[in-house]
Structure 1
């Protein structure tokens, strides 16, 4: 039901309000605020991840006087509407907040007002108030939505956006020209309302939309109706008088060819983008991206950058557009790097010039000058950031920016933020303070690891340890069902941005290539390769078959060789070094009965590791070995015949094996998968960056296995 009592059919936004759910919250305005916020945040057409803010005002009892006071609950700094909870809200006394205008010294001093928000806090467990707090505080409405919908920003960023807004809404939506968010903008919103009583919202030039209502539902439906009208207007005009983005200049490759090119190129791009710090990548060939990057207007629009501050903060001043043909031969890596190097150097110089031209005496030092967004016409878009989630969100924001450019160009002419205004946002001291408050990165943040055999046992423990320490991981197994179970576990523990999964047979070069392509497309490449996949066969020499022998050497030796060979190809493309860890065995050093095939294959793995270490040092790729022994927990190796064979060799029962293995160690300890994972982390966690060719025994102490 719309505000005028008629039924509105929504085409461009999602109507998600459930009357029964809302009725269960009747009288609890804060609960209704959270409910409304979650609904708005669930539709990316309404606002971006982490973008926008909502509020409500209601009466509450003052804890000091016991008297009723008006309190405003508003989304706090750094939150996300789609996942907002009460802990993500800031609660402030309305009268105290509004009284700050009495001591406001003007726009040159408005940053100092942020600290004063703390004197207005009602709930001491509040989230820190955001810079947008006064934008809600000075408006009188009970419920307010501030969103960044593409359809509204397209009009707000159009050259004659003010005229379009007035005509489209018949004067019922106000207009406030671009102004950096803050105290002054809050006062401007109040002035706009005072000068235009009865309006249902305000369009912020180049920025976004404010809408409101006296109830949570009224605010929600008002917001949807305004955005729906904007979107319908854009749809009506798109392509009507001129082709979208000037029409197509080139054609895209077919989907599989796009993926192949992107997987081949991503590690090279990641290497360039990681010249200051390790970056994780994201790739998309979304149809909206392809329409833009294949267009005649790409060269005109891309350098302009974005308009909405939320877009700009995550995508940088402008993207880097590659000058590669869609079907370019990417096989000659040296020539490819040589061809791309000038593009990255020019981008870094452009960014430095932008910084130097716009900086203030108290501006923070220049940050990483590498691009965040890289456009490859005919193929797709790459984004690079400190972690996968940030890279993915940057891609989503640039798609929002594309939508804005498309809409603005359809009805008028797109305009971006002036460079100085963009700089003032990017290097805002308040934004810098927010960055400084962020938690210190974990040891493996920015690293990408592929661990073979990681659906269970030792491999799974290693992948989990690396993910816990900040890495993104590619889990894999030749058992699809087992991999499915592991995928559920990793999704629950680390979310979709923490890992990728791929069925992998280490004896099949094509299967290995597919897994590395997954790593490149999902994250941009690979930094750590752990060869952990394995199997065991324990038989007396006379019972060993040729099939047994071939299987052991194919999986353990050939598998380690092939996985390492393809992994270092990617590491060399990146040019940032890397780690190869080989999970071998105590049996590589110790001779025992009924173990000719397995023991000799493990010895081959160990010496292959030494050979690789000697060869790859020049590439700053370290190769090290962890030797476990008797890791029985969650391991397929110990199922069935292997356990029976080892028990028979030692004259004990299968049930007695764990105690037997522990008793023969110097420390009398049972070894578990997590022990091996900790040893692997010791090699890659940053303290042993100058160590290669080493063997670390994690066996409880088996004297016969001492390396020296």
Structure 2
């Protein structure tokens, strides 16, 4: 492997104003709030996913009294400003929010104020108000933005944060010391505004930026202007300066980085998937490589993140993997990973014990979320793909903050006790407890061959409905992309990946599993479904036709299963293999010797694998379809003509013939096979292996006993 320097980072460009006066002219004030929010959330330099919030104070007609009253519209709990819609805002009576001051008992009791917020609800709005509501309510301006721009947090996380704020912004932007979000901080903001009526905003230490105005557009433009001012200042101040203490490692080439990550991710996934299956994400963008290759990476990472929104997603600090890109010591790293992971867990448990309160929630998952690999990049693991990706994005935000703060000053992570009090905040725990129960396949990763066909795509859809991530493999790239586009549009792009692959090509199969490890971290389910069908009398069956059936339906199933077993054993958390075979593997058919024999070999391979995999918790089962015509690529070519000829039917009559041939007189559809595959892939069949499930509407010749 060749070591090469990290790619240069893209140059910083100013945030452009996207405000369209013509479009905004027709909007109500709440609609302008939505417009402003979506514009701000469209650029991750302004705020991270789910971070920040916006508000507007609007005169509305009270539905009971008919009188005009002042109403606070503010982003509700758990929303994202970039994707929020009108129903994502809470609405509260301002007079009632002001009345809360009369029941506030002091900072020791500020959490109880959240319980009063529902009493302030306007117009029976069901959207729960967030903890940041008082921060917006008590700023005496109609429009308020609270954002988490990296450039501002770099100022907020610097040792001399207050002096830097004054130096960069003068009196236009104030500064407040660290305070956990909540009612008390809302009062602090109000006090600052009243004492500094000319100020346009404030930097919150270790947290972010507040800006305000009485006009929606001006508020938006002020937010952009202040962030751009900070970005420009950092661009000037950091030019020519050493970043992160200088470079210690050189990046591996891209293919080599991905090869290392593909080996690391299943091993890590197995170690961190004890309580629930985790999904991984890999990131080797230039900003990440700059950091993981730096001499100052380890000490900076140990300080932890600063912004509360960051470490709620990333934990307070990452795990630095002991990889040396110059030595490419991946085997030694894999051997030492269990000890590294155990040490991280012990350190996290000690952090919990040092900081916990009598009423703290129980210790949560002690495993790292972020794994930094010198010369390679960053790996993140979370309960689903979107969360893993977003956690990585948050740590990139943290990297940008550390870059800025450590270059112009000393970077300061949030004090440990403050970090704990945010992470184990009872209000955050209550939010976690309200989350819906995970779906049956949440956190599971499935690999489906023949994924562009009727059975493969139906199986993928069934798994996606239950929360699984799916890698679809097929030799037909065009059909594969069409299926991907369809499924991604309905289940989200995070959940679906595709790889063009010939199941008979050993190198392609191995590469496809590496891509799956990179995409999702590992594997839990293999549905081996790629297939062909042929029909010819034995004396007309060529050796090439015989070998083609054996290559795809026997050797192909062997190759994809072998690679799945390797991944399952690396992870050590079991797995499920489902072969989509055929009734013809059990019941002979005329003029189909090659196909029937290959399918019989496939079924017997499954039995052998069930024996080998049981001790490792790897289950292997078979679904046997029959006559699945609709959506099947097998039935679109010569096979359809051949079977029609064999049975003396035309194409239109063949499906009816198969239906009438079955004992139940019913057609078998791709969705029926998908249901059988889901049964064997899920915990519904946790105690089943070596089984055959016929989904053929009944065929006595295919009875397994």
TM-score of the pair, normalised by structure 1: 0.97
- Does structure 2 retain, via aligned residues, the 8 Å contact 1:206–1:308? yes
Which of 407, 411, 429 aligns to 2:408? It is 411
- In 2, Cα distance between equivalents of 1:175 and 1:391: 33
Partner Cα separation in structure 2 for residue 678 and residue 403 of structure 1: 46
- Report the alpha carbon displacement of residue 139 of structure 1 after superposing the two structures with TM: 0.7
Alignment of 1:521-540 (within 5 A): 521-540=518-537
Q: Hey, what's the Cα distance between the residues in 2 that align with 1:239 and 1:272? A: 42
Structure 1 CA distance, aligned partners of 2:349 and 2:263?
Answer: 29
Which position in structure 2 is the counterpart of 1:544? 541
The answer on whether the counterparts of 1:202 and 1:211 sit within 8 Å (CA) in structure 2 is yes
- State the number of aligned residues: 694
The answer for the alignment partner of 1:4 in structure 2 is: none
Deviates more, 1:153-162 or 1:660-669: 660-669
**SS of structure 1 residue aligned to 2:604:** helix
Shift of 1:566: 1.0
Alpha-carbon distance in structure 2 between the residues aligned to 1:356 and 1:15: 48
Deviations 1:376-430 (A, max 9, x none): 0110000000000000000000000000001111221100111110010001011
Q: Find out whether 1:644 has 2:646 as its counterpart.
A: no
Instruction: Tell me whether 12-21 or 638-647 shows the greater mean CA deviation.
Output: 12-21
Candidates 476, 492, 496, aligned match of 2:489: 492
Paired residues of 1:385 and 1:391 also in contact (CA < 8 A): yes
Say if 2:264 and 2:334, in contact at 8 Å, map to a contact too. no
Q: Any residues of structure 2 matched to 1:617-656 within 5 Å, and which?
A: 617-656=614-653
Residues 331 and 303 (structure 1 numbering): CA distance in 2 closer, same or farther, change over 3 Å? closer
What is the CA-CA distance between 1:11 and the residue it aligns to? 3.3
Q: CA deviation at 1:212?
A: 1.1
Q: Which residue of 2 aligns with 1:79?
A: 79
CA RMSD of aligned residues (A): 1.2
**Which shows bigger deviation, 137-146 or 510-519?**
510-519
Does the 8 A contact of 1:586 with 1:699 survive in 2?
yes
2:576 is the alignment partner of 1:579? yes
Residue pair 1:48, 1:148 contacting (<8 A) in 2 also: yes
Counterparts of 1:5-84 in structure 2, within 5 Å, are 11-25=13-27, 28-84=28-84
Counterpart of 1:204? 204
The reply to whether residue 233 of structure 1 matches residue 230 of structure 2 is no
Contact 1:143 1:216 (C-alpha < 8 Å) held by counterparts: yes
CA distance in 1, matches of 2:652, 2:372: 59
Aligned-partner Cα distance in 1 for 2:19–2:79? 22
Paired residue for 2:372? 375
Q: TM-score, normalising length from structure 2?
A: 0.97
Structure 1 residues 527 and 328, CA, compared in 2 at 3 Å: closer, same or farther?
farther
Separation in structure 1 between the aligned mates of residue 537 and residue 115 of structure 2, nearest angstrom: 76
Shift of 1:620: 1.2
Asked if 2 retains the 8 angstrom alpha-carbon contact of 1:88 and 1:126, the reply is no
Deviations 1:509-535 (CA, angstroms, capped at 9, x unpaired): 111122111111111011101100000
Q: What is aligned with 1:607?
A: 604
Structure 2, unaligned runs of 5 or more = 1-11
Match of 2:284 in 1: 285
Residue 640 of structure 1: how far off its partner (Å): 2.4
Which aligned pairs between 1:218-617 and structure 2 lie closer than 5 A? 218-240=218-240, 242-326=241-325, 332=331, 336-617=333-614
Q: Does the residue aligned with 1:510 lie in a helix, a strand or coil?
A: helix
> What does 1:677-688 correspond to in 2, within 5 Å?
677-688=674-685
Measure the CA separation in 1 of the matches of 2:634 and 2:349.
Answer: 56
Contact 2:140 2:193 in 1 (8 A): no
Give distance in 2, aligned partners of 1:58 and 1:620.
Answer: 59
* Deviation digits for residues 569-593 of structure 1 (CA, Å, limit 9, x no counterpart): 1111111110111000000010121
Residue equivalent to 2:3? none
Contact 1:265 1:330 in 2 (8 A): no
Shift of 1:346: 0.7
What's the CA shift for 1:45?
A: 0.1
Query: Which runs of 5 or more structure 1 residues have no equivalent in the other structure?
Result: 1-9
- In the aligned structure 1, how far is the partner of 2:176 from the partner of 2:253? 45
- Alignment check: 8 A CA contact 2:323 2:330 kept: no
Determine the structure 1 residue equivalent to 2:7: none
SS at structure 2 position matched to 1:539: coil
State the distance in 2 between where 1:380 and 1:125 align.
44
CA distance in 2, matches of 1:40, 1:378: 34
Change over 3 Å in CA distance of 1:361–1:487 after alignment to 2: same
Task: Measure the CA separation in 1 of the matches of 2:686 and 2:44.
Answer: 42
Partner of 1:106: 106
Q: Whole-Å Cα distance in 1 between the matches of residues 569 and 310 of structure 2? A: 33
* Residue matched to 1:189: 189
User: Following TM superposition, by how much is the alpha carbon of 1:329 offset from its aligned partner in structure 2, in angstroms?
Assistant: 5.5
Contact in 2 for aligned 1:624/1:694 (Cα 8 Å): yes
Q: 2-side partners of 1:675 and 1:197: how far apart?
A: 68
SS of the residue aligned with 1:623? strand
Shift of 1:111: 1.0
- 1:292-339 per-residue CA deviation (whole Å, 9 max, x = no partner) reads 11111112101111010000100002000011222656775xx65431
1:239 CA displacement: 4.5
Report the equivalent of 1:129. Answer: 129
Q: Does the 8 Å contact 2:143/2:219 carry over to 1?
A: yes
Structure 1 consecutive aligned stretches of length 4 or more whose deviation exceeds 6 Å: none
Note the C-alpha offset of 1:123.
2.6
Residue 236 of structure 1 deviates from its aligned partner by 1.1
> More deviation in 303-312 or 660-669?
660-669
Within 2, Cα distance between the matches of 1:327 and 1:511?
28
